[in-house]
């Protein structure tokens, strides 16, 4: 395992190969503030708005698509945000290898890829096999919040997984940075609102 003092923190965007396993968020951010992690940050709109609005909270964004990762990371850099970091990585791999037990206050998953074809569905992030990961990474009192526009993904996987996770269901609270009529405030959501798509949301807490 790499020594904790050996990794180099790049501005905003991090390189997986340079990080210690596990990752020390307090060392990374330089403080012990709560950490909220978003899986699939896209262009980073939600992450950036939250980081600006809540400087007392640390935010971490994961994105696999290189173009989106680079775009989002550059936005954070240009806004000179000190309480947000991003990484290009597979979310399941990153959570398993780098995120320590009980280290996250909130896990955000908004408009994840639905992988609608039967042969693809094993790639879905929110499914039964993901439940132990949720329990491990969330702090006591920590929350998971999920929103999707895909009815099939919602009915087949997201809703039954979260309801059967052993977590306590709570009301989904619209983030304060979301505009009127928005559920989350992401680029994908704004696009889907124009298309008239319905949204499905759920939130749960680890007691």
149 is catalytic: no
d(CA 113, CA 171): 23
Instruction: Report the largest interatomic distance among the alpha carbons of the chain, rounded to a whole angstrom.
Output: 50
Pairing of strands 138-148, 84-88: unpaired
d(CA 159, CA 150): 12
Reduced to 3 states (helix: H, G, I; strand: E, B; else coil), residue 62 is strand
Nearest to 12 by CA among 66, 75, 91: 75
- Chain Cα centroid distance, residue 83: 15
**Cβ-contact 125, 92 below 8 angstroms:** yes
Q: Which of 113, 149, 171, 207 is catalytic?
A: 113
d(CA 110, CA 84): 18
List active site positions: 113
């Amino acid at each position: 395992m790499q020594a904790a003092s050996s990794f180099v923190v790049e501005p905003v965007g991090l390189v997986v190969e340079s990080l210690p396993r596990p990752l020390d968020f307090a060392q990374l951010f330089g403080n012990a503030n709560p950490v909220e992690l978003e899986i699939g940050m896209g262009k980073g709109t939600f992450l950036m708005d939250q980081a600006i609005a809540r400087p007392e909270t640390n935010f971490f964004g994961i994105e696999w698509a290189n173009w989106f990762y680079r775009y989002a990371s550059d936005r954070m850099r240009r806004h000179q945000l000190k309480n947000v970091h991003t990484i290009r990585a597979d979310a399941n791999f990153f959570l398993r290898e780098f995120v320590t037990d009980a280290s996250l206050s909130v896990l955000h998953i908004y408009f994840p890829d639905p992988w609608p074809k039967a042969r693809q569905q094993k790639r879905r992030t929110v499914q039964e096999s993901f439940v132990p990961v949720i329990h491990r990474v969330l702090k006591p009192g920590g929350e998971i919040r999920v929103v999707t526009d895909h009815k099939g993904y919602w009915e087949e996987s997201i809703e039954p997984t979260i309801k059967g996770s052993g977590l306590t269901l709570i009301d989904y609270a619209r983030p304060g940075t979301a505009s009127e009529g928005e559920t989350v405030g992401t680029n994908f959501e704004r696009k889907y609102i124009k298309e008239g798509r319905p949204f499905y949301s759920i939130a749960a807490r680890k007691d």
